[in-house]
């Protein structure tokens, strides 16, 4: 990666130097403990994974700058998606510490959004509420009685007051908060493509911002975002990319006849320099071919990065069927992971040409990694050979000369047909990005498909939303993924 790429992708607000004002996350400090206000989607653990930003190293850097090299450890850490107070201990505690907390949960009723107080930590369905904030701690022990309260997070306040559909006034501050959550992603030496802003999930409704090496792609999905287009472009350029490409996305993308319309997706960057076309980006070292100047899509869906990593880890020596393969990114990940054979199916000849370009970039043998132009549903219904791995990632809406696919209507039949091709002990990754199919409905669709086939299941679990694609307040993630393992 270039110096420019590392600089702009890693831009986060710096901590204050030692001896000046305390960092914004520090609410209390004494000789034995610190109390910090953890943002949502920032970890307070050290083991959440390489893509997750942790607050602990930042605390330790700040302490070391003042000559304090004692380590800190968290008491009662919060889940990744929750925000609020966490107690950090410094050195050994000779006396036990007792902490009592107060929690705020948010929920949306029929007439209004409300905040609910809890004395006990949320459990069950409440543990996955749109917002969870630990706002007060009463701490006894080690010779102290202490009460600390955390302010209401801005995103939570805006959601409760019904302001979450409007862009904030200070675009630079909102962008900085979003980038700060991606600090760990930006620090990865082998990954230079990911999402920096995910709409309302980052308190910027109608705005999506992606990094592609040295360049940015800004997508606008609301009338307000389009109205503030110039201000958004200028704010993104101040982050440091070499150039910014613009995509004006309609609310119903499936009714657009020409997604390469220059009014929707100008070929030239809206700000800065043009990117090479094609542009090769990397996910954990795996090359993927993209084009920032070729319509609304770039050639790779960044929200499947974690799923591709999972597939690569399961691929060695197996046979893969990739349905609705588009430009073949899942197949590329499987090839890098050592898959023995693959068949990638799509109804678009142009998409398969780009898939071959991607496979050539990782030296995939065409004899063992075939591309098939066909209707995916008809292909799985007519075939008989089994596969150890199946990727089922259809669009929400698709048409061919002979058929129309609607995910809300046709997914159970498609999933049942695909499961019929899954070998005993094999894995299937089922996905949908249809915004009208909520997570509970998608699970029911998969369960209906399993019941139809009579296939016994060894495992069935959902993948969480990637760290750079946080769900909007009060809503499910746009992308739902379920992994099914057939019983041996």
| Buried/exposed 54-73: b ≥16 CB within 10 Å, e otherwise | bbbebbbebbeeeeeeeebe
Distance from C-alpha of 108 to C-alpha of 11, rounded to nearest angstrom: 35
Distance from C-alpha of 35 to C-alpha of 75, rounded to nearest angstrom: 10
DSSP state of 441: H
DSSP state of 455: -
For helices 171-181 and 229-237, give the axis angle rounded to 10 degrees.
50
Residues 102/133, Cβ–Cβ less than 8 Å: no
**Which ranges of 29-130 does DSSP label H, i.e. alpha helix?**
56-65
**Which ranges of 365-406 does DSSP label H, i.e. alpha helix?**
376-382
What's the longest Cα–Cα distance across the chain? 77
Q: Where does residue 263 rank: exposed (0-12), middle (13-18), buried (19+ CB within 10 A)?
A: exposed
Least Cα distance to 470 among 77, 83, 57 occurs for 83
Distance from C-alpha of 4 to C-alpha of 414, rounded to nearest angstrom: 45
For residue 440, give the H/E element and its range: helix 439-453
Task: Return the active site residues.
Answer: 431
For residue 176, give the H/E element and its range: helix 171-181
DSSP state of 374: S
Return the SS3 of 256. coil
DSSP state of 13: P
**What spatial distance separates the first Cα and last Cα of the chain, rounded to whole Å?**
43
Residues 101/136, Cβ–Cβ less than 8 Å: yes
Least Cα distance to 312 among 290, 283, 351 occurs for 283
């Amino acid at each position: 990666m270039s110096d420019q790429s590392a600089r702009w992708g890693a831009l986060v607000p710096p901590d204050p130097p030692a001896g000046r004002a305390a960092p914004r996350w520090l609410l209390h400090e004494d000789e034995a403990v610190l109390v910090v206000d953890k943002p949502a989607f920032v970890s307070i653990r050290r083991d959440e994974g390489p893509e997750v930003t942790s607050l602990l190293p930042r605390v330790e850097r700040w302490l070391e700058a003042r000559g304090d090299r004692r380590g800190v450890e968290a008491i009662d850490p919060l889940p990744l998606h929750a925000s609020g107070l966490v107690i950090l201990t410094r050195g050994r505690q000779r006396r036990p510490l007792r902490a009592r907390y107060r929690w705020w949960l948010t929920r949306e009723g029929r007439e209004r959004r409300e905040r609910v107080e809890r004395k006990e930590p949320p459990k069950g369905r409440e543990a996955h509420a749109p917002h969870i904030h630990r706002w007060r701690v009463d701490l006894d022990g080690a010779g102290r009685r202490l009460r600390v309260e955390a302010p209401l997070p801005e995103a939570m306040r805006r959601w409760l007051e019904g302001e979450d559909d409007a862009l904030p006034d200070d675009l630079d501050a909102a962008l900085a908060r979003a980038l700060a959550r991606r600090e760990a992603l930006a620090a990865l030496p082998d990954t230079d493509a990911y999402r920096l802003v995910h709409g309302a999930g980052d308190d910027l409704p109608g705005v999506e911002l992606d990094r592609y090496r040295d360049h940015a792609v800004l997508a606008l999905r609301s009338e307000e975002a389009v109205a503030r287009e110039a201000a958004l472009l200028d704010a993104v350029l101040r982050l440091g990319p070499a150039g910014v490409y613009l995509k004006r996305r309609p609310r119903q993308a499936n009714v657009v006849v020409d997604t390469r319309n220059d009014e929707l997706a100008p070929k030239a960057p809206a700000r800065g320099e043009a990117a090479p076309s094609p542009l090769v980006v990397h996910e954990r070292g795996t090359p993927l071919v993209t084009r920032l100047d070729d319509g609304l899509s770039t050639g790779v869906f960044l929200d499947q990065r974690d799923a591709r990593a999972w597939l690569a880890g399961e691929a060695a020596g197996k046979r893969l069927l990739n349905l609705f393969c588009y430009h073949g990114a899942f197949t590329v990940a499987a090839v890098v992971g050592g898959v023995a054979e693959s068949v990638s199916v799509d109804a678009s000849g142009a998409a398969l040409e780009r898939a071959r370009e991607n496979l050539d970039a990782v030296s995939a043998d065409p004899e063992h990694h075939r591309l098939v132009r066909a209707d995916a549903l008809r292909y799985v219904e007519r075939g008989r050979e089994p596969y150890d791995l199946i990727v089922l990632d259809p669009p929400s809406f698709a048409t061919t000369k002979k058929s129309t696919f609607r995910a809300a209507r046709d997914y159970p039949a498609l999933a049942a047909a695909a499961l019929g091709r899954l070998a005993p002990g094999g894995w299937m990754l089922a996905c949908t990005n249809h915004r009208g199919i909520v997570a509970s409905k998608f699970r029911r669709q998969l369960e209906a498909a399993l019941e139809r086939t009579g296939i016994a299941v060894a495992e069935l679990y959902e993948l969480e939303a990637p760290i750079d694609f946080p769900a909007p307040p009060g809503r499910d993630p746009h992308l739902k993924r379920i992994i099914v393992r057939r019983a041996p």
